[in-house]
Structure 1
Amino acid sequence: MAEQGAPQRRPSIHDVASHAGVSAATVSKVMQGVATVKPANVQRVFDAVERLGYRMDPLASELRRSKRRIIGAVVPEFESEFFGTVITELERLAEQRGYALVAASSRESEAREKEILARMHDWRVSGVVLAPVRNERSPAAAFMKASGMTGVMIDRVLADNAFDTISADSAAASAEVARALVGNGHRHVLVIGLGEQAATVHARLEGFRAQALALAPDMRIDVILSESDVAPLRASLRDYFGKGERPTAVYSLFLKGTLVALSEFRRRGWHCPNDISLVGFDDAEWMQVTFPAIAAVVQPVRRIATQAMDLLFRRIGGEEGPSRALLEPCKVLMRESVGSPGGGARAGGGDGQ
């Protein structure tokens, strides 16, 4: 029996193998992200790693490898609930495989985005998860390709011939929003967004526009897009309403825009949904607890992060083949902020599934 207070022996790869009922070689393959291991064995290894608190020796590992057991993550900003959750999930999934996550914010700057990627390349990271400022054709993505980096791109992307991409199905979600608003009788909708050149903004806008006009050809759709900040959007919104424009609904293509719109409504003494309806892309706790609760498109954040890390570690493990372009479905929740023009809340509330 070990003396009380004596340091505990660090769990070894053989301890993990014994607990998981697999060989030490299998454990090693799982921790390196090799894609040929059976999914059931992968899960048993991860369960054993978590139960034992196993940690790989990074120095010994890096001496055998040309790259470090570090995963880089670059996102446009850390403030939003979406990217905050993405980073949290990426970190958890990286550590589960014995890697450390180094995350940085591009601050919505493509120049800074490329600079961060160059720095991560110097650090010899094993792979990178990149959420580009605009789309998959960013300077940072071009740098990754030219430098032979292993990477996956998420969120503001559609498809790429060099890297796997994962994003929410923004167009389908926006089409569902259009169906809900048209079904409630709306024929004049203002769409507000940030960053016209971002792939997701384009997909959300066009998905809404195409479906709304297909269902109601007489629909009037006004659009206000701000390039990089909410301050110009707030000013444009005040100017728009100040000219006497009165759409019956506003669809915000990003979370901060939803808050800007709601603030402007309250400044003018308008109430949802009696005076105007409101739907926002992205959900947040404040949207659920405010009254009335704000209708929202809920993105599959954790699913996107999980898919990104799964694909990234497959590539790190040597998997070849054409790049994948995955679209994950969103959930549209039509809460109390949406009703018929002048008719109050939509009967029944709830979700729009």
Structure 2
Amino acid sequence: MAKGAQPKRPSIHDVARRAGVSAATVSKVMHGVPTVKAENAERVFEAVRQLGYRADPLASDLRRSKRRIIGAIVPELESEFFGSIVTHLERLAERRGYTLVAASSGESEEREAEILRRMEDWRVAGVVLAPVRDEHGPAGEMMRAQGMTGVMIDRVLSDKTFDTVSADSLSASAEVARELADRGHRHVLVIGLGEQGACVRARLEGFRRTAEALDPQMRIDVLLSESSVEPLRGAIRDYFSRGERPTAVFSLFLKGTLVALSEFRRRGWHCPDDISLIGFDDAEWMQVTWPSIAAVVQPVERIAAHAMERLFRRIDGETGPPMARLEPCRFLVRESIGMPRQERRQGPKISVVET
């Protein structure tokens, strides 16, 4: 090689020779065609990794109207749940030779629509959308009108056009209700954000329906804020200041769990001696704080994997009615759950309940 010359960029034929397969097989693997034998696909991925192969996006764009770009739109990038979702989506997209472009709607349907317009201008191959509200919002209608290829995740149940992948929030919340009822709780405060969101409705319905079936006398108070965390923080403070003393709080979202715990500590209450606490979504701080906070853990990796699987199938031309998939959650019973003071006895061990 001449001095100063740049090393030759690995080609699809180099990958084929290294993997011991045809260039056509490499192309199928990179496009996610499911008919390739698993052992051949693994050899191709290993050859791609060893050679540092990257598909030429300019050459690809000349052969197709869509670019090898996947768009991802989520309500926020700061949360552990959506941040982790984007991380997994990016890894899966790059494994197929695509680039992921992620953006946050900021819980704004107007911004969500603007991002979708930009992605359509970029001619993205497909979009993974976690909508601000649910599958019936303006984002879904825009994707349908533009004929975009997409999959909806998280705040959705099912859709007439797009495949959907979500956590089974209803069943998970039902398990929380059973745990609290079994321990003798008869007054529970449920707090949440985004009353119109499909997942919030499912979580609330799952808890309320199960709790009322187990104990018709159980009192369930609900505080929901549509706009932001701060109004909810004020509502919780006012609620306790009126003298309300539930024996447990169930937060339907991660930030709400922290808000509730902060209010407990401001008032000098301790979990679980004075009040029990359960949160939807888990975070590292919930595991290392004392007492550790009970949590419903959403299957982030499985949601991302199934969303990308369905998206690539649609990109590759699969037709047929949309599929709706609900992934089971895990309920981690930790130290923040106890029995009401008047019914307390030796507490149960930490357990994991599959829902």
Q: Same fold (TM over 0.5)?
A: yes
In the alignment, what sits opposite 2:138? 139
> Which residue in 2 is equivalent to 1:84?
83
Question: Pairwise mapping of residues 158-237 of structure 1 onto structure 2 (< 5 A)?
Answer: 158-237=157-236
Q: What is the TM-score with the length of structure 2 in the denominator?
A: 0.95
Pairing of 1:313-352 with structure 2 (within 5 A): 313-342=312-341, 343=344, 346-352=347-353
Q: Does 1:44 align with 2:43?
A: yes
- Structure 2 CA distance for aligned equivalents of residues 208 and 161 of structure 1: 27
Counterpart CA distance in 2 for 1:57 and 1:118 is 25
Partner of 2:306: 307
Where do 1:66-105 residues align within 5 Å?
Answer: 66-105=65-104
Moved more, 127-136 or 51-60: 51-60
Q: CA deviation at 1:138?
A: 1.2
Tell me if structure 2 keeps the 8 A contact 1:46–1:97.
Answer: no
**Structure 2 residue aligned with 1:8:** 7
Change (3 A) 1:19 1:305: same
Secondary structure of 1:192's match? strand
How far residue 31 of structure 1 moved from its aligned partner, in angstroms, is: 1.6
Measure the CA separation in 2 of the matches of 1:41 and 1:303: 24
State the alpha-carbon separation in 2 of the partners of residues 216 and 134 from structure 1: 31
What is the CA-CA distance between 1:107 and the residue it aligns to?
0.2
CA contact 1:180–1:352 (8 Å) conserved in 2: no
- Give how far 1:3 is off: 8.3
In 2, are the aligned partners of 1:174 and 1:205 still within 8 Å (CA)?
yes
Which sections of structure 2, spanning at least 5 residues, go unmatched? Answer: none
Answer whether contact 1:135 1:199 (CA < 8 A) is retained.
yes
- Aligned residue for 1:108? 107
Instruction: Compute the displacement of 1:43 (Å).
Output: 3.5
CA-to-aligned-CA distance 1:91-116 (integer Å, 9 cap, x gap): 11111111111111000001111111
- Rounded to whole Å, the distance in 2 between the matches of 1:152 and 1:235 is 36
Q: 1:344 to 1:63 in 2, by over 3 A?
A: farther
Counterpart-to-counterpart distance in 1, 2:245 and 2:238:
12
Provide the residue aligned with 2:257 in structure 1.
258
Q: Give the drift of 1:50.
A: 2.1
Would you say how many aligned residue pairs link Structure 1 and Structure 2?
Answer: 352
Q: Which letter does structure 2 place at the counterpart of 1:347?
A: P
Give the match's secondary structure for 1:339.
coil
Residue 52 of structure 1, CA deviation? 2.3
**What are the Cα deviations for residues 154-199 of structure 1, in whole angstroms up to 9, with x where unaligned?**
0000001111000000001101111111111111110000011100
Aligned-pair CA distance for 1:39: 4.2
Question: How far apart are the structure 2 equivalents of 1:344 and 1:51?
Answer: 59
Structure 1 range deviating more: 287-296 or 42-51: 42-51
| Counterpart amino acid of residue 278 in structure 1 | L
TM-score by length of 1: 0.96
Q: Which amino acid aligns with 2:141?
A: A
Unaligned runs of 5+ in 1: none
